[in-house]
Chains A and B, each alone.
Chain A
Amino acid sequence: MEEKILEQFYLHFDEGDIYGDNNISYAASKALEEFVIMNEDKTIQGFIESLKNIQAYIIENSTSGHKLLKNRTNLTLRAVCNFCYHIFTKEIAKRMDQTMDEIKEALKKKAQDLCSLAEIAKQKIIKYSKKIWRDDMVILTHGYSSIVLKLITSAIENGYNLTVYVTEGRPDNTGEVMVKACQNIKPPGEDSSVSPKLGVDVKIILDSSVASIMSKVDYVFLGAEAIVENGGIINKIGTFTMALCAKAHKKKVYVFTESLKFLNTFPLDQSDISSVVPEMEDFDNLFSDYTPPEYINTLITDLGISTPYGVSDELIQFLI
Chain B
Amino acid sequence: MDPNKPTEEELKKIKEEKKNELLNNKDLSKEEKQKLRKLKKAEDKKRKKELAKKKAQEKKQDEKQGKKEKNKKEPKAMGDFGKPKKNTPARRERIDSTYDLPSGMDNVTVTIDEIMNEYYGKLHSEVINLGLKLVSEKIDDASLRCLAILRAIIKFVKDYQLDERKRIEEDFPKRIKQIADFLKRCKPFTAGIEFAIEQIHASFNNVFKQTEEEARTNKYSFEKKLELIKDSMVEEIKTFAKMRIIGAEVISQIKPNDVVVTYGSNHTIKRVLQTSIEKGINFSLIIVSQGKEDIESFELAEVLSKTGIDLVFCQLNSLPLVGRKISKVLFGGTSMMNNGYLLSKAGTASIACWAKSKMVPVIVCIESFKFSTKAVVHSLVTSEIKDGEDGVKSKLNNKYDITPSKFIDMVVWMVPYSPLCEIGCFPAVSMSIISGHT
Contact = CB atoms under 8 A, between A and B. Distances in A.
Interface stretch (A119-127, A161-169, A308-316): A308-316
A72 B15 CA distance: 75
Interface string A81-123: 0000000000000000000000000000000000000000000
Contacts of A317: 433
Given A230-B410, A320-B419, A320-B420, A266 B433 contact: no
B90 interface: no
B305 to A, nearest CB: 27
B279 interface: no
Contacts of A241: none
B409 A316 contact: no
A268 B253 CA distance: 10
Contacts, number: 49
Nearest to A82: B422
A308 B82 CA distance: 56
B423 A264 contact: yes
A225 interface: no
B430 A309 contact: yes
A264 B363 CA distance: 18
Interface in A289-320: 293, 309, 312-313, 316-317, 319-320
B361 A269 contact: yes
A266 B425 contact: yes
A294 B419 CA distance: 29
Contacts of B26: none
Highest count of chain B CB atoms <10 Å: which of A268, A309, A312, A319: A268
Nearest to B425: A266
B434 interface: yes
Nearest to B360: A269
Contacts of A316: 423, 426, 430, 433-434
A266 B361 CA distance: 12
B428 to A, nearest CB: 9
B176 interface: no
A204 B192 CA distance: 58
Contacts of A223: none
Nearest to A231: B427
A240 to B, nearest CB: 13
A303 B409 CA distance: 24
A21 interface: no
A258 interface: no
A52 to B, nearest CB: 12
A15 B422 CA distance: 33
A33 interface: no
A309 B409 CA distance: 12
Highest count of chain B CB atoms <10 Å: which of A230, A275, A293: A230
B422 A313 contact: no
B94 interface: no
Contacts of B328: 268
Contacts of A275: 255
A79 to B, nearest CB: 13
A276 to B, nearest CB: 13
Given A229-B423, A229-B427, A320-B420, A268 B410 contact: yes
B419 A266 contact: no
A313 B361 contact: no
Nearest to B257: A271
Contact of A319 (B253, B361, B423, B427): B423
A313 B423 contact: no
A316 B434 CA distance: 8
Nearest to B406: A294
A307 to B, nearest CB: 9
A160 B434 CA distance: 43
**Size category of the binding interface on chain A:** 10 to 19
Nearest to A232: B427
Interface in B412-438: 419-420, 422-423, 425-427, 429-430, 433-434, 437
Contact of A312 (B419, B420, B430): B430
Contact of A320 (B363, B410, B427, B437): B437
Nearest to A315: B430
Contacts of A269: 361
Highest count of chain A CB atoms <10 Å: which of B255, B410, B419, B429: B429
B363 to A, nearest CB: 8
Interface string A262-297: 001010110100010000000000000000010000
Contact of A313 (B253, B255, B429): B429
A231 to B, nearest CB: 7
A229 B410 CA distance: 10
Interface string A184-216: 000000000000000000000000000000000
Given A309-B429, A313-B429, A264 B410 contact: no
Interface in B261-295: none
Contacts of A271: 255
Contacts of B410: 230, 266, 268
B426 A229 contact: yes
Contacts of A231: 427
Contacts of A293: 427
Highest count of chain A CB atoms <10 Å: which of B363, B423, B430, B434: B430
B409 A312 contact: no
A118 B434 CA distance: 28
Given A266-B410, A317-B433, A320-B437, A229 B419 contact: no
B422 A268 contact: no
Interface string B238-261: 000000000000000101000000
A312 B432 CA distance: 12
Nearest to B361: A268
A271 B363 CA distance: 16
A264 B421 CA distance: 11
Given A230-B410, A319-B422, A320-B420, A312 B427 contact: yes
Nearest to B422: A264
A263 to B, nearest CB: 11
Contacts of B437: 320
Interface string A222-236: 000000011100000
Interface string B313-330: 000000000000000100
Contacts of B409: 230, 268
Contact of A230 (B255, B422, B427): B427
22 contacts: A229-B425, A229-B426, A230-B426, A230-B429, A231-B427, A264-B422, A264-B423, A268-B328, A268-B363, A268-B410, A269-B361, A271-B255, A309-B427, A309-B430, A312-B426, A313-B433, A316-B426, A316-B430, A319-B422, A320-B419, A320-B420, A320-B423
Interface of B: 253, 255, 328, 361, 363, 409-410, 419-420, 422-423, 425-427, 429-430, 433-434, 437
Given A271-B255, A320-B433, 12 more contacts: A229-B423, A229-B425, A230-B427, A264-B423, A266-B410, A266-B425, A268-B409, A268-B410, A309-B429, A316-B426, A316-B433, A320-B419
